[in-house]
Every structure is written in C-alpha cells, then in structure tokens.
Amino acid sequence: MKDNYPEKVAVEEEIQQASVELSEEVWIAILAKLDPESLQDSVQWVSKMFHRLANDSYIWKRLFLMFFPDEVPEPFPDDFNWQSEFHYLYKKEYGALKPEVRKLIFSIITGATEEACKSVVSLEDLQAEHFILIRMATRFDRQVVLRHFHSSLRQQLELQEEGQLPLGWAVLFNQKEVVHAILGEQPQLINDYKLEEKTITQLAAEVGHLDLLEEFLNQPGNKLNTEKIWELYHCIARSKQLALFERFRDFIENNARFAQMTKPDTSYLAGLYGAITIFKAAIIPLHQEKVDWERELNQLPPELYFSTGNTVDFAAVQQRIQELAQKFVDLDPRLFQEFLGISLGLVYKRREAILKLAKITNDDKLKHLIIPSATEMLRDGFKMSIESALSAASRHGHINIIRYALDNKLFNINELLLGSKEDCLLLHAAMFNQQKLVRFLLDRNANLELTLAALIKLRENPLEHDADIKSGESSLKPKDFSELIDLFLVVLEERKEPLTCFRLIDVVVKHNKIDLLKHLFSVDPGVINLVDKSNRTALYSAILAQSEECISFLLANGAEANAEILYAAIRVNDIPLVQDLLARAGEDVSALVNAVYLRVLTKSCLPRFQLVRYMDQLDPIIDSLKNPEMQKLLLPYIDKEKAICDILAERSEQDFEQRSTLIRLRNIIDLNDRLLDFPPIDKKKLLAFVETEPKQNTNTIRTELQYEINSGKTASNSDDLAIVELQVKAMGYRKGVNAGRRKSANEDSLPATMKLPSELNKLKVYSRLVAAYRDQPVKIKKLRSQLQALYFEAYLEGKRNSFEARSSSKRKSEPKPQVEKKAKKSKQTAIEQKPGDEQPLGKRKRNSADEKETQERKAPALESAQPSRLGMFANKKPVTGNDVSRNRPAVSASTTSVSSSDSEEGQTVYSPSFFLRPEDDSQRSAEVTEARDRLPQGDTQSKESSYQQ
C-alpha cells in the first residue's frame, strides 16, 4: 500500500488538472448516466471533488425517478433525501442480486440495449428473483434484450436452431406458436409441467404475458381452484404494475367461472409487495366512499338517525328496489335480482347488495334507508383493508406505503392492528428487523413503550415469538432484540416524557430485570405507581413473579404496600415478605390483614360461573393460609365475625334474598372452619348482628342460625356429613316453622310433594361429599334419602313448635270465662222472682242450665272408631282411591295425613282423619291425652277442641 501511495496521488492530481477544463455541471451530467454501482463503489473515491459531485442531489433524484417513478411520496415532504431513499429502495428491491445482474437491470431501465446485449447471462441469472431479468425486459419492452436472453438460453441448453424451447421457457419468452404446438400435442401439460415449481399459468402471470394468461385461464382442462387464483394475484401484484393488475382483476371478476371464488384483498397485496400505485388505486376510493357516506349521515335529521340506528328496514328497501327496477329499465335486471335472491339470514350480503344499488342508481330515498348501516359497514371495511395493508407493509419494511397512509391521515401511527392488544406498526417493524422503518416511525414520534415491552418479553421468552407471527411467513427477526431495546431506551431518555404504559414496567419486573427497572425509574420516578385495569401496581406483579431484587427496589423507593400487596405476598407464601409488610403497616396492620381476609371470603363464595376466573388465585392463597407459620402471623389481627358481618352489611337490597345469604354464610363458615382450619366462627355473634336487622328481612336466617346454635355442634369437631345433616335439619325446621304459622296448618302433616331444598347443591360441604362419591351413584342416592328423612323430621318438629307457640299466644289473648258471673246473676234473678209469678210474654230468659246445654251442643265430637263416617262429613272435597295411592307420602302413621296449608297450590288436599286406621286412632287418642295433660288446669277442654281441629 505504501509503494502505491505516490502513484495514487499522481493519478489524483492528473484527474484534478483534467477536470479543470470541464465545469461541475458538465461533470454532474456525465456522472448522472452512470449506474449506482459505479457511483458508489468507484467514482466517489477518485477525488474529493468527485466525492462531492457523486453525492449531488440531482444525480440521485434522476436515478430515483428512473428506477422508482411511482414511489415519490404524496404530499412531498420538505426533508425528503433522494439519495438515502434511493439507496433504501434499491437495496430492498435488488440487493439480493449479483452486482453484474444489477448493472444489467440498469442498462435495461435506461435503454442501453447495446450494453445489455454485451453481457454474459447464465441460466441461474435468468431464474433469479422470479425471473427478474425477463420481467424487466418485458416491462420496458426491450425486445432486443429479450432476443439476447433467448439466444443465451438456447446455447446453454445446447438446442439446435430448429429445436423448440421447453414449454416453460417458451411461455416466459412469449412464444405463442411454440406453446400452442406443445399443448396441442400434450394438453395435460397445462397442469403437469412446472418450472421452478410454477405451472405455465403462473409463469405467464409472473412475467406479465396477459394474452397467454387469459388463454390458459379459459382452457377447460386447467385445474384452477381458489388457492391457485390467489397465487396468480400474488404474481401480478409482485410486478407492481397497476395497469397489468387491473386488467387481470377485471378479467377474473367478469369471468363466470371464477364468480364464486373468494378473491384476495387488493390493499393487502399492495402492502405486501410495496406496490404503491396499486395501494393508492385500492385505498383511495374506499376512503372517499366512507367520507361521502359519513357526510350523508351527518346531514340526516337526528331523530331519523337515532330511531333507525344501524338496522335496515328491508321491507321498505325491497319496495323501493321494485320501484327502481321499473324506473331504470336500462340497467341490468340482475342487479335488482341480486338483492331479492339473498336469503333474509345473510344480512351483511343484503346490505352489500343494497349499497351497490344505491351507488348505481344514486337514489336519495334508497340511500336514506341504509345510510346508518352503510356508513358502519364502509367504515369497518376501510378499517380492515388499511390495517391488513399496513400490517403487511410494516413486516416487509415498505416505508412508501406507511408514509402515504400517515401523511394522508388514513391511519394513526400508534393505532393497534387487526384487533390486537399490542401489535402496532413499530412492533411489526422491530420484530422483522426493519431498521429503516423503525427509525422512520421513531422520527414520527411513535409510542415505543408498548413495543419495548413486547421486545423485552420476546428476548426473555424467544419461543413465544413464533406464536405471535400470524402470517406464517419467515421472520427476519434477530435472535436477540438487545440492539433495538438499547435504541428504544436511548430514545426514551431523549424524549424526557412521563411513562404511561403499565405493561412496560410489568414485563420488566416479571422478568426481574433490575437494570431496566432502574433505567425506567431514572427516566420517570412515577413509573412505579402506574396501575393496570384492575388497579394493581408493578409491586403486585413483582411479588407474584417472586422477583426479589425488583421487590426490594420498589419498596425502597416508595411503592405503596396496600391490601393487594399483602394478598399477593400471602398467595406466594412468602413469610419474610409478609413479616416486612406487616411491620411497615404500623397502626393499620389490623385493617390491612382483615381487608385481605375479607377479600378471600368474598371471592371464595362467588357463584360457580364467576368463581372459575379466580380459582388460580384462590387455590394458592388457601394453601398458604393453612401454613401454621402464616396463621401465627395473621390470626392475632383477624376479627372473623366482624369481617363476615361486613359482608352481610354490604349486600344490596336485591341481593338480600335470605336463603341465598344463608348459603353464602354457610360457605364462608365452611371455608374458615374446615378449609383454612382457623378457630371456629362464633355463630352467636353473627346471630346478634342479624337481630339488629329488620325482622321481616331476617326471619329465615335467624331461625336456621338459632337452630344450629342450639344443636351445640361446631364444624371443628364434626365431619362433613354431620355438618350437612345439621344444615339440612335447620332448613327443614325453618320450613316447618313457617308452615305452622298459617291459620289452617295441621300440626303433624307433610306437603303432598316435598323434596330436599335446591340450595343444598350450592353448599360447598355438600359438594365435597358428592364429589367423594362421584363414581358411586348408589351411595349418593342413599345419602340423599338419609338427608331427606332428617329434613322431614325437622320439618315436623318446627311445625309442632310453631303450632304450640301460636296456640299459646291465642290463650293469652282470650278473656277469662264469664260462667261464674252468669250463674250468680241467674241465682240472684231466681231469688228475686217470687214463686208462682207469671213471666211476661216474649223470649224466655236463659238460665245456667240452658248455657250448659248450649256449650255441650257446640263442643266437637271426639274421633270415633268409624273413620269412614267421620271422614265423609269432614272432607268437603271427594277423594278417589287413585288419588290416595298416588299422593299419599311414605312416612310414619302419625304423619300420614296431608294439611291444606302445607300442600302446593293446585294439589289435592286430604282430611287428617279420613285415612286413620284403628291403630292410628288409638295412637292419635294417646297423643290427644298427652297434649291435654300438658295444658294448664281449667283450659283442657278448649285446648283439646283446638288441637283436634
């Protein structure tokens, strides 16, 4: 190198002396005719002057307009750099080709055919990048160059002059006669022959020979399906030629053979291949139509818009279409039949047909009928098209497509794509390593927090990335996103803006990235107080992830330690952290612990359909609360009864359905006493709280709770079966008490149809019993029979107690008998009246003997041994034998009768004495005697009459 240095200096001086004779404008005009390869690799390194001239804007503008005339942005930005933009597009389009091929493409584009024909082209060069040399020569109609390629190919294939090209190459060089001759002899080749895994139909589309392509598509033997048609669309879109694409699209859409096939979205194809002219042609009409219909919608009277909403009056539309069919006789009748032929269920297709008619006819009345619906439909359609196009463009780094959409306000730079929670333009560009696009979006002030969070997550969990790629295309992502992450962190510092994305710090602490956490904290200290939708902070996430370093940093820098934080610490069974949080709470420690306890109780007693959402939270925290060390820390601060009373007090009026509240209460007690193994809850304290509530709202709860208290059993010293039995008996007792309060109640009767209460299935303790017998249906049946017997027994007990209480209250309210006073008065009357005195005519005064006779006549007769006679008069409604056998409950003889007060509405009612057998009668007489003995002296007769009734 040192030996050549003097020589190099001499050459440079010689060039500088020669260049003095020509002005810079002349040199620029000369250099402008050079290919980009020569300018970049050779000319600019000749001298300082040539370096300056080779980078002149005029040269690169000329090259840009020559290579990419359709890529000039609209509107044109003031800071547009022709050289850098050219290099980006040139490298993207032709960077994978060999330098010799790139120079040959330059000769084809500039029309330097002589230079192109001097080049040596290999078979590999002709097949490169989907036959790009043949495509470029065909696109610019360079027939001389095509003949040169053809000659080179024949030489390499060693064909004689009279020999034919293989079918695929004949299609590529548009040799129709050869193609027709081969297919005439072997028509099956239209499907079987392949070159580079492409059929001859695809080859014709790839190069852009539409005449041949249409011939192939019309061939009856060509096996075309939706997938193959889509491939043809891709081949045409790859050429980026709008005229070629539109001609092909029109041919497909107007061909009846392909009418029922689904066609790809043009906007998406344009975004995928960066075809800006095709993109504009597709998206501009959609946007303009959306704007026009929104303008029409805004001109509607408000009452019309709000009354119709997004619905369509199809009857009115159908009537109007029939009127238009008579008015527009020149239009194709199929346009009107298209709507009428769509079934009523296909609402969206009917709307499309109406919209199509409204556009063609421009009928104001028809427009007004569908304006709200059409506006929504067009808005959704445009949104889907623009998002699919930009999603594809961002993955492949097509800045021209994205710039046009952003500059013309067709899309917001931070808007999420295709309904995703995190996918945006910046994230797609970063994931697919589109560095130029990433920098472009950052310069446009794209929000990078969500993308940074996603990149950190992908770096820490690289296997998740493939699941995030929806398109199935090969990703250009690097294995490590560290370079991009560092870039984003630098940009965050430069912007000096408050951080707003909780997901960013959430991902950082979940992966225990203490260095990133400190960096974010230095950018914005308020980041540690960001919350998610559930009002949870980064400290909560760090605890669940057990990120020790991040937890310590957050607590040391002022992160709030509330009940949510303590809940999370208990959930992960972190004893030292729980101790630390309790120490930090100070005087509020009791309130903090009880808030956590209250939350556990509340969530554990949710309905099943809601409980499923929290099972992943409840199972770990219940296991943790069983830990003796954890109980030792928490139990001194827990007031269990107060927490339960708070739950009952916070209920709404609609929620306070007493049986529902009882189920909830029992499940809470079961959780505390059985699952958590905490000290048993004092039901007496709960009862004292319930008694402070209005009596009419708590009768059921009071009765059952008092019954359980009187039983003297607790969950801590009973098994699940004993607890279920006790609760079932309490339910039966309460039902019996309610039945005994009715005036027409019979003391020892059951309803005709009486089953176990439905709320039994909602009890957690009962569910555990049934789950233990899951594969033993006989045991489950036996269990229910056992519980049913207890339920009936408790029902009768409650009914008897209620009956006795009601009778006792009646006795207290009755006045004392007036027999003695009447007897004295009669005696006095008899003394005062002299014997032999005649009584005056009229009604005779009653004496004591008359009163006694009247009382005996009113007293009810005792039940006799002939039940048929008594029953005949006692039962007002005749009962057949069939009714008896069908409705008679299978219980003991003393409970065989059915009370009208307890039977369900509309069911048969039976007299108690109608079914008594002699042994039943004797037993009942004994019961009457026993009841008489229990009554106070002097009131036996009246109580006996009441009891019999």
Q: What is the pLDDT of residues 81-137, one digit of tens each?
A: 998 888 888 888 888 899 889 989 999 998 889 989 998 899 999 999 989 999 999
Q: Which long-range contacts (CB under 8 A, 24 or more apart) does 316-324 make?
A: 316/369, 317/354, 317/366, 317/369, 317/370, 320/363, 320/365, 320/366, 320/369, 321/354, 321/357, 321/366, 324/357, 324/361, 324/363, 324/366
- Residue 318, pLDDT score: 72
Average pLDDT score over the chain: 78
Rounded CA separation 310/296 (Å):
14
- Residue 312, pLDDT score: 66
- Residue 525, pLDDT score: 95
- Residue 16, pLDDT score: 52
Give the single-character DSSP code of 842: S
**Which is more confident, 511 or 350?**
511
Rounded CA separation 674/666 (Å):
11
Phi, psi of 679 (to 5 degrees): -55, 140
- Residue 742, pLDDT score: 77
Region 891-907: mean pLDDT is 38
Decide if pLDDT at 945 tops 60: no
Residue 360 pLDDT grade (very low, low, confident, very high; cuts 50, 70, 90): confident
Region 587-595: mean pLDDT is 94
- Residue 396, pLDDT score: 95
Query: Residues for the chain: how many in total?
Result: 949
Region 416-428: mean pLDDT is 89
Decide if pLDDT at 236 tops 60: yes
Amino acid 687 reads L
Q: Which long-range contacts (CB under 8 A, 24 or more apart) does 334-341 make?
A: 335/360
Q: Which two tokens stand for residue 509?
A: 């602490």
Most confident by average pLDDT, 226-230, 315-319, 902-906: 226-230
Measure the CA dihedral 53/59/63/69, to 10°. Answer: 150
Residue 903 pLDDT grade (very low, low, confident, very high; cuts 50, 70, 90): very low
Decide if pLDDT at 237 tops 90: yes
- Residue 357, pLDDT score: 73
- Residue 145, pLDDT score: 92
Residue 394 pLDDT grade (very low, low, confident, very high; cuts 50, 70, 90): very high
Rounded CA separation 124/196 (Å):
11
**Which is more confident, 449 or 658?**
449
Most confident by average pLDDT, 25-29, 120-124, 162-166, 299-303: 120-124
Share of the chain above pLDDT 70, in %: 71
Rounded CA separation 48/823 (Å):
148
43, 34 Cβ separation under 8 angstroms: yes
Strand, coil or helix: 198 = strand
- Residue 32, pLDDT score: 65
Q: Which two tokens stand for residue 28?
A: 């620029």
Cβ neighbors of 258 (< 8 A, separation 6 or more) are 224, 229, 252
- Helix-helix angle 548-556:575-585, to 10 degrees: 10
Give the single-character DSSP code of 45: G
Rounded CA separation 882/560 (Å):
74
Strand partners, 195: 198
Percentages of the chain per state (helix, strand, coil), in multiples of 5? 70, 0, 30
Whole-angstrom Cα Rg for the chain: 47
User: Residues 437, 443, 449, CA angle at the centre, nearest 5°?
Assistant: 85
CA 548 to chain centre: 33
Does an H or E element contain 483, and which? helix 482-495
CA 556 to chain centre: 37
Q: What is the 3-state secondary structure (H, E, C) of 769-789?
A: HHHHCCCCHHHHHHHHHHHHH
Residue 808 pLDDT grade (very low, low, confident, very high; cuts 50, 70, 90): confident
- Residue 317, pLDDT score: 74
User: Residues 323, 327, 331, CA angle at the centre, nearest 5°?
Assistant: 110
pLDDT tens across 683-737, in order? 999 999 888 888 777 888 889 999 999 886 555 556 889 999 999 999 999 999 8
Phi, psi of 695 (to 5 degrees): -65, -40
Region 315-330: mean pLDDT is 72
Decide if pLDDT at 817 tops 80: no
Q: Which residue has the tokens 């059951």?
A: 750
- Residue 898, pLDDT score: 39
Strand, coil or helix: 819 = helix
Phi, psi of 562 (to 5 degrees): -100, -165
pLDDT tens across 427-479, in order? 999 999 999 999 999 999 999 999 999 999 999 887 665 444 444 444 444 46
Q: Which residue has the tokens 């030489």?
A: 155
- Residue 373, pLDDT score: 75
pLDDT tens across 134-179, in order? 999 998 999 999 999 999 998 888 877 666 789 999 999 999 999 9
- Residue 935, pLDDT score: 39
**Which is more confident, 934 or 482?**
482
Decide if pLDDT at 810 tops 70: no
559, 541 Cβ separation under 8 angstroms: no
Rounded CA separation 22/15 (Å):
11
Q: Which two tokens stand for residue 133?
A: 């040399």
Share of the chain above pLDDT 90, in %: 39
603, 616 Cβ separation under 8 angstroms: no
- Residue 866, pLDDT score: 40
Phi, psi of 774 (to 5 degrees): -55, -40
822, 756 Cβ separation under 8 angstroms: no
Strand, coil or helix: 195 = strand
560, 532 Cβ separation under 8 angstroms: no
Of 207-216, 237-246, 434-443, 829-838, least confident by mean pLDDT is 829-838
Decide if pLDDT at 941 tops 50: no
Which sign, positive or negative, has the C-alpha torsion 324, 325, 326, 331? positive
Of 240-254, 568-582, 605-619, least confident by mean pLDDT is 605-619
- Residue 55, pLDDT score: 78
pLDDT tens across 735-771, in order? 998 888 876 667 677 887 888 998 898 898 999 999 9
